[in-house]
Amino acid sequence: MTARSIRVLGIDPGLTRCGVGVVDVDGARRATLVHVGVIRTPVDAPIGERLAGVAAGLRAVLGEHEPDAVAVERVFAQQNLQTVMGTAQASGVALLVAAEAGLPAATHTPSEVKAAVTGYGSADKRQVQAMIARILRLDSPPQPADAADALAIAICHAWRRGAASAAAGALTPAQKAWADAERVARTYIR
């Protein structure tokens, strides 16, 4: 990693499969794959053990790859309440592990991630996977989809918040306008 790069750990939270992807992104928005994988927990294990397994897996990735920031996919409502609860719990564990490590953490919605990497907020999984392979100059998309999603989350974060700021030491006018708009929107949401 060069001094002008940012290393981001992207997390696609889940209890059965928690996708993790680490990328280095330079000031010119060139992304390089550092690590990709999936943390798995047994579906028949008690919830506490599964969450502890996710936390242990995340701590191992943090320790090995030492990212500068963590980005987690924001949980959204789905039809299956049990699925959304498990995803929300894994997301909370991811944010906790990042905080324990003293790392800045952010969440991004699925449509934000899709728009960042494909230019279209309603892109399907296949389109996202194809773009991740192209962005990272890979021969084929990372498998399973949870792993590709984690890389997309990391790239989205670096492109939207991190790399240009880390490289230039300040926000570009467009990034500043975006950050200001997000700050205003948050005041009205609360």
Token pair, residue 41, equals 């927990």
Token pair, residue 91, equals 């997301």
180 is catalytic: no
Catalytic residue among 12, 24, 26, 149: 12
Separation CA 139–CA 134 (nearest Å): 8
100 is catalytic: no
- Do the annotations mark residue 149 as ligand-binding? no
Residues in Cβ contact with 44 at an 8 Å cutoff, skipping those fewer than 6 apart? none
Residues in Cβ contact with 157 at an 8 Å cutoff, skipping those fewer than 6 apart? 8, 10, 69, 71, 106, 108
Separation CA 30–CA 28 (nearest Å): 6
Catalytic residue among 24, 26, 146, 149: 146
The secondary element (H helix, E strand) that includes residue 75 is: none
24 is catalytic: no
Looking at residue 51, its amino acid is: L
Catalytic residue among 24, 49, 68, 73: 73
- Do the annotations mark residue 68 as ligand-binding? no
- Do the annotations mark residue 146 as ligand-binding? yes
Separation CA 44–CA 85 (nearest Å): 16
Residues identified as active-site: 12, 73, 146
**Which residues line the annotated binding site for Mg(2+)?**
12, 73, 146
**Which residues line the annotated binding site?**
12, 73, 146
